[in-house]
Amino acid sequence: MRRRPRVRLLLLPMMLCLALTLGTGCQSTKETPEQIEIPAFSAVKPTAPELVGIPSDADGAIKALTVDLSRLDGYTQQLEEYITEQDNYYKSTTKVML
């Protein structure tokens, strides 16, 4: 006894489904879509600060670490402002699209 492949059983319904999908799903419209104007993102990402090398003496190391910490704190604040701007831009563009 020879087995018939099941592919032949599914071939006709698949071709019928494809023909119906192409026949009904590809209708053109006469209306032109409304143009959406998306505002430009104007915020500039801050650059990472250059950190000072840490010297071997204790006084110099404390000063260098203080300078580095101050620079990193300022950079962190700039990044938080940049992320806030990104969030506001995302919200404004999604409102425009909806």
Q: Inform me whether the pLDDT recorded for 37 exceeds 70.
A: yes
Q: What angle do CA 78, 80, 63 make, to 5 degrees?
A: 50
Length of the chain: 98
pLDDT of residue 2: 61
Q: Give the tens place of pLDDT for each residue, 71-88.
A: 999 999 999 999 999 999
Q: Tell me the average pLDDT across 9-22.
A: 76
